[in-house]
Amino acid sequence: MSARRLLQLVMLVQASAALLVAWMLLRHGAAWWWALLLGVGAVALVRLLINMNNFLLSACFASATPAAYRLDLGARLRMLAREFGASMLVTNWLMARARAGTRIYPDSRHPPVLLLHGYGCNSGYWAHLAPLLDTARISHATVDLEPVAAGIDDYVPLVERAVEALRAAAGAGQVAIVAHSMGGLVARAWMRSHGRARVARLITLGTPHHGTALARFGLGANAAQMRHGAAWLRQLSESEDAATRALVTSIYTHHDNIVSPQTSSELPGARNVEFGGIGHVALGSDPRVLAEVMREISALAARSGR
């Protein structure tokens, strides 16, 4: 099952639950609008509790937060609100409707950008970055990594086809890759199989380069490979040389609620860029993170061989 179909099913379950709550309240004499409001609110509350639980679980395995990134209670509540809002928007609307696509700008001076999403997601995750690429007239393409629960190496042929299709459409020798979470591991696995010659830059957002303790709660071969200290991750690291690592920019947050320990996103030999006060899903929509991604991509124009 695709992530889109899975999320549509989740939306159907949520809508059914909201209507069930509303029906029960109507039977007890509540006004229809009040019953419906409480039904939707009950579903939203469950989703909020799931988000809160992720933060609590990640805290159990968290790396030490540097003093400059420690948050007071108000900042933590704002971060929770932003992560909850981002999760609701992405899963209930953006990814449930998304399909992979390509946008080509023949006059672009930048290498085209391939966007790779993370575990359980699809190309809809990039709904905030894609408009910025359009404004800058940077060619880009998304790819849906399916099946959802496949092994990470199983996605390598999908990436290879997407890279070649994007290079051909844009008339480019190299591509830049921006990847969220598991997508960063997929990109590294692709480079292990196909080399780095066609990569101008790999920019990862919240990628568990050394694994995450929360992967033990995930389903599928890919979740098992992302467990903290997994053999697959060690073998991937051992396959990389200094030149490969130098192509990587790893952007991460010290308050990631999925990647824990959070310093798992630090990749030796790469350019590591740290943030605070941002959750895992919100990395794809946070203005500070998006600005950093665009700076990385813009810097490639001067070095492009096109």
Predicted confidence band of residue 164 (pLDDT cuts 50, 70, 90): very high
Instruction: Please give the residue that has the higher pLDDT: either 96 or 119.
Output: 119
Amino acid 278: pLDDT: 98
Per-residue pLDDT of 248-301, as tens digits, reads 999 999 999 999 999 999 999 999 999 999 999 999 999 999 999 999 999 998
Predicted confidence band of residue 304 (pLDDT cuts 50, 70, 90): low
Residue 114 pLDDT exceeds 80: yes
Residue 229 pLDDT exceeds 60: yes
Q: Which residue has the tokens 């990470």?
A: 152
Q: Mean pLDDT over residues 94-101, rounded?
A: 90
**Domain 102-303 grouped into CATH 3.90.79.10:** no
Q: Mean pLDDT over residues 215-241, rounded?
A: 96
How far apart CA 291 and CA 118 sit, in angstroms, is: 20
Using an 8 Å Cβ cutoff, are 113 and 102 in contact? no
Using an 8 Å Cβ cutoff, are 33 and 43 in contact? no
Amino acid 224: pLDDT: 97
Amino acid 29: pLDDT: 81
Residue 239 pLDDT exceeds 80: yes
Predicted confidence band of residue 1 (pLDDT cuts 50, 70, 90): low
Residue 303 pLDDT exceeds 70: no
Domain locations in the chain? 3-97, 102-303
- AA letter at 250: S
Amino acid 8: pLDDT: 83
Per-residue pLDDT of 17-75, as tens digits, reads 989 998 898 888 888 888 899 899 999 999 999 999 999 999 999 999 999 999 999 99
